[in-house]
Amino acid sequence: MYQENYPQNFPTGFLWGGATAANQVEGAWNLDGKGLTTAEVVKKATNRKKMSMDAVDQVTLHQAINDHTTMLYPKRRGVDFYHHYAEDIKLFAEMGFKVYRFSIAWARILPHGDDKQPNQAGLDFYDRVLTELEKYQIQPLITLSHYEMPLDLTLKYNGWSDRRTIAAFNHYTQIVFEHFGQRVKYWLTFNEINTGTWGFHATGAIDQGLSKQQQLQLRYQSLHHQLVASALATKQLHELYPTDKIGCMLARMQTYPASPKPEDVRAAQLADQKNLFFLMFKFVVNIQSFMNRYFAENKLIIKMGTDDQAILANNPVDFISFSYYMTTVTKADQDGTAVGNMATGGRNPYLKESAWGWQIDPIGLRITLNELWDRYQKPLFVVENGLGAQDKLVNDQIHDSYRISYLRQHIIQMKEAIKDGVKLLGYTMWGPIDLISFSTSEMSKRYGLIYVDQDDLGRGTLTRIRKDSFYWYQKVIATNGTDLSDNQ
């Protein structure tokens, strides 16, 4: 009977949890032998609707290197997870987390990016984190590179634009797999790899002052190197631990055509193809050939090593992970750009938006889950989704019904997708604890279920406070998503 195959709820063992990134939470930017990273030379934005992360040029870079304070560079201080990790993980456990996604800072392990020997204090820190997680049976899901790299590789090679960075990265990944591999089952390579087309934050390559064409050339070349490095890391992991799982990670930008006009529909398809290109594994043949046409028409020459095609083709990832915050609208004669950290495209008149102008579209999550599953038939993992909002602390409490509503609506759509037959491994909402915003480096753009007492200038006690959403998510996890009512 067909009906028997119709799932009713989240599967048993569904991985509920939260996600953070080293450069947004750890702080301790210059402690215990850690090297400076690309994220730590990016200044806080002066306009919260205008992203600042890619505006680094040679002048601002050298100013930052000579400035040894944290004031202008909030990612140097994070929320001091480096010293609060035990307290924070205890709170995650109290919510019932099954998984915690975090990233390893490459420069904590190899301060210059290509050191022969690892920095023992860096390895020790992540060992301590893993020990805490094991105490509560929380699975680690580790991102190998989340929007930062050792700054010395920018100075030496201009980041990922140089092929030599592949070897440096795979030396780092080999060390990390050998050291932590026994304790970790799930890995991700590059966070939101496709956003490398936007510049420095992901490529580690300074490209300010270049023409648009030269920028595109450098960014796609950098991305090619990252794709190869990613495939090589996949190979390393599978050789060491054949049953471990490694995924790629995409900033999923589901695109809607602005109208049923065939030109608009085709334009939307094109935008989608460019987004999905970065889910590089062997059966994406059509999309690869589409990109060859795109490269040729835009006169982009991507240099490849002789083995690159084979490396990419022979090392597919085990699952597809992605972040989901918004959808975009595309039309053939595009003018106007949507506000959002990396969205291009127009605004959707049917959607509401956050205070930062990010359009909120829970049904888009169901659509994208279905599309990805239909197309690739690979297990999926939603590894980021959440609401950045300004919270008000009143009598030591935060009543964040808006955040509950946002998460609730998205989780309902995930459940619908599971009922549609999508194979979903888990959900790590973004920012279980308040952290420094990626795109604007603000503290006041809060995603957390846990409040951190710190303001945009770094003032505060760093005390952690449970928000209403903390108790709500605790209930959702305890019932494995059966109870999605908005009361806690």
Question: Which DSSP state fits 329?
Answer: E
> How far is Cα of residue 242 from the mean position of the Cα atoms in its chain?
25
- CB nearer to ligand BG6: give 48 or 108: 48
C-beta closer to ligand BG6: residue 35 or 388: 388
Answer for which of 37, 221, 236, 323 binds ligand BG6 (CB under 6 A) is 323
Q: Does the active-site annotation cover 353?
A: no
The answer to whether 311 and 231 have CB atoms below 8 angstroms apart is yes
What one-character DSSP code corresponds to residue 4?
Answer: G
CB of 257 to ligand BG6, least distance (A): 24
384: contact with ligand BG6 by CB under 6 A: yes
Q: Looking at residues 82 to 121 of the shown chain, list those that interact with ligand BG6 (rule: CB under 6 A).
A: none
Inter-residue contact 359 to 351 (CB < 8 Å): yes
Binding residue (CB under 6 A) for ligand BG6 from 15, 16, 17, 21: 21
The single residue of 26, 148, 384, 442 carrying the catalytic annotation is: 384
Query: How near is the Cβ of 436 to ligand BG6 at its closest, in Å?
Result: 8
**Smallest distance from the beta carbon of 241 to ligand BG6, in angstroms?**
26
Q: Give the shortest CB-412-to-ligand BG6 separation in angstroms.
A: 21
Minimum CB distance to ligand BG6 smaller for 38 or for 191: 191
* Residue 261, amino acid: K
DSSP 260-276: S-HHHHHHHHHHHHHHH
Residue whose CB is nearest to ligand BG6 in the complex, by number: 439
CA dist., res. 400 & res. 389, Å (int): 9
Which CB atom, from 232 or from 429, has the smaller least distance to ligand BG6?
Answer: 429
Find the angle CA(167)-CA(181)-CA(282) to the nearest 5 degrees.
Answer: 60
Provide the CB-side half-sphere exposure for 299 (13 A, CA): 4
Q: Which stretch binds ligand BG6 (CB under 6 A): 113-121, 173-181, 297-305, 436-444?
A: 436-444
Residue 189 interacts with ligand BG6 (CB under 6 A)?
no
| Shortest Å distance, C-beta 143 to ligand BG6 | 9
The correct pick among 192, 207, 318, 400 for binding ligand BG6 (CB under 6 A) is: 192
Q: How far is the CB of 142 from ligand BG6 (least distance, A)?
A: 14
Which long-range CB contacts under 8 A does 301-305 form with residues at least 24 apart?
301/217, 302/220, 302/221, 302/224, 303/163, 303/221, 303/224, 304/224, 305/163, 305/228
Q: Which of 42, 141, 229, 251 binds ligand BG6 (CB under 6 A)?
A: 251
Distance CA 437, CA 447 (A): 9
Helix (H, G, I), strand (E, B) or coil at 443: coil
3-state secondary structure at position 486: coil
Q: Does 451 bind ligand BG6 (CB under 6 A)?
A: no
Residue of the chain from 200, 438, 451, 472 that contacts ligand BG6 (CB under 6 A): 438
**Helix or strand or coil: residue 380?**
strand
Q: Does 388 bind ligand BG6 (CB under 6 A)?
A: yes
Q: Is 203 in the site for ligand BG6 (CB under 6 A)?
A: no
In degrees, rounded to 5, the angle at the alpha carbon of residue 142 between the alpha carbons of residues 198 and 461 is: 85
HEC letters along 189-255? EECCHHHHHHCHHHHCCCCCCCCHHHHHHHHHHHHHHHHHHHHHHHHHHHHHCCCCEEEEEEECCEE
Minimum Å gap between C-beta 100 and ligand BG6 is 15
List phi, psi (to 5°) of 24: -105, -15
Closest to ligand BG6 by CB, 246 vs 267, is 246
Does 188 contact ligand BG6 by CB under 6 A?
A: no
Collapsed DSSP state (helix, strand, coil) of residue 477:
helix
Q: Which range touches ligand BG6 (CB under 6 A), out of 29-37, 397-405, 438-446, 463-471?
A: 438-446
Residue numbers 276-305 binding ligand BG6 by CB under 6 A: none
* Minimum CB–partner distance for residue 390 and ligand BG6 (Å): 12
384 is catalytic: yes
Sole residue written with tokens 């085709």: 266
445 in contact with ligand BG6 (CB under 6 A): yes
Interface region with ligand BG6, contact rule CB under 6 A, candidates 435-443, 449-457, 459-467, 473-481: 435-443
**β-pairing, 464-466 with 450-452?**
antiparallel
Q: How many residues form the binding site for ligand BG6 (CB under 6 A)? A: 15
Nearest-approach distance from CB 5 to ligand BG6, in angstroms: 34
Degrees to nearest 5, angle at CA 49 with 44 and 54: 50
Residue 250's beta-bridge partner residues?
Answer: 322
Q: Which of 315, 328, 428, 439 binds ligand BG6 (CB under 6 A)?
A: 439
Question: 26, 132, 148, 192: which is the annotated catalytic residue?
Answer: 192
**Catalytic residue numbers, as ranges:** 192, 384
Residues in the site for ligand BG6, rule: CB under 6 A?
21, 24, 147, 191-192, 251, 323, 341, 384, 388, 430, 437-439, 445
